[in-house]
Amino acid sequence: MTRKKRILSGMRPTGHLHLGNLHGALANWIEMQDTYECFYFIADWHALTSDYDDTGNISDYVKNMVIDWLSAGLSHEKSTLFVQSHVKEHAELFLILSMITPVPWLERNPTYKDQIAQLGNKDLSTFGFMGYPVLQAADIIIYKADCVPVGIDQVPHVEITREIARRFNYFYGNIFPEPQAILTKMSKVLGTDRRKMSKSYNNAIFLADSPEEIASSVSKMITDPDRQRKNDPGNPDICNVFDFHKLYSDKSLVDEMNAECRKAGIGCVACKKKMAANLINFLEPIREKRSYYEQRPELVADIIVTGSNKARKIAQQTMEEVRSAMKI
């Protein structure tokens, strides 16, 4: 039997996860649990690269994210779930890699310039922010991961990781495999305003939302913009609510809404109510599991400690090889 390939991926702790995260990264991660040896971690040190001035929420965000993961179907029995800052070896390898990484590689990184432009109100001219991909490289190669499932925006970071691994191997001997990016299938859900779903756009529906919050968010969703009045026929093909119906309603209701909308047989309010009910239903098992874990904080803490201990064992082994290769 051949060994399962090892994958590793991480998320920054952003607070609660939303439907976009669920149908994007998380769904992919859950699916891969049976075919790969999976390491999933919360990149809390990465959060510091941009949110260094306000760290008070990070540990709550970490706990919340673990609960979201478990509730959505990541399994601490199948996969190793851990927190970056619990495995200090990441920091040691980061330091070593920072010695061999040429600054121009980091300056060339497209996400570096993008983020500085996007977060213009924030001083990101820090050493740590520029070194973000070096920390990410350490995260990945310390586990000798074969593959890294990531969104398209993270592909340049995996590319830099490969370059850093190659450079390390060139100087000190062949220790690190070069990891491959696996492109995450994109989520099809948009935010309630039809932009990309994002916490910072205020257009997200969260896994932890109550049925009332979901109903209220759905009631505010933008529909076919050309449909002004209830008697105007609508076009489901350009309606975000209809896209949600396709995800959460069964085929007969989807067909019915499709037909009724086109002949103005149903109004948007009623159509949204039907979709909201199905979305609330769909998220019900996740909400149930969430409340189970929320009532058992010691269990959640234990899952994090156990996962981090497992990860640390491997990270320590790698660091021994690194020190010995470098004769330190």
- 290 sits near ligand SF4 (criterion: CB under 6 A): no
* Residue 148, binding choice from ligand TRP, ligand SF4, none, Cβ under 5 to 8 Å by partner class: ligand TRP
- Judged by beta carbon distances under 5 to 8 A according to partner kind, the member of ligand TRP, ligand SF4, none in contact with residue 139 is ligand TRP
Q: Is 179 in the site for ligand TRP (CB under 6 A)?
A: no
Candidates 35-43, 113-121, 263-271, 313-321; binding stretch for ligand SF4 (CB under 6 A): 263-271
Q: How far is the CB of 24 from ligand SF4 (least distance, A)?
A: 23
Q: Check residue 66 for interaction with ligand SF4 (CB under 6 A).
A: no
Which of 268, 276, 304, 322 binds ligand SF4 (CB under 6 A)? It is 268
Secondary structure of the chain in HEC code, one letter for each residue: CCCCCEEEEEECCCCCCEHHHHHHHHHHHHHHCCCCEEEEEECHHHHHHHHCCCCCCHHHHHHHHHHHHHHHCCCCCCCEEEEHHHCCHHHHHHHHHHHHCCHHHHHHCHHHHHHHHHCCCCCCCCHHHHCHHHHHHHHHHCCCCCEEEECHHHHHHHHHHHHHHHHHHHHHCCCCCCCEEEECCCCCCECCCCCECCHHHCCCCECCCCHHHHHHHHHCCCCCCCCCCCCCCCCHHHCHHHHHHHHHCCHHHHHHHHHHHHCCCCCHHHHHHHHHHHHHHHHHHHHHHHHHHHCCHHHHHHHHHHHHHHHHHHHHHHHHHHHHHHCC
Nearer to ligand SF4, 109 or 192 (CB): 192
Among 43, 66, 197, 276, binds ligand TRP (CB under 6 A): 43
Rule CB under 6 A: choose which of 266, 277, 286, 325 binds ligand SF4.
266
Decide whether 161 or 192 has the Cβ nearer to ligand SF4: 192
* C-beta closer to ligand SF4: residue 102 or 265: 265
- Candidates 7, 9, 87, 217; binder of ligand TRP (CB under 6 A) is 9
List contacts with ligand TRP (CB under 6 A). 8-12, 43, 46, 136, 139-140, 148, 150, 154
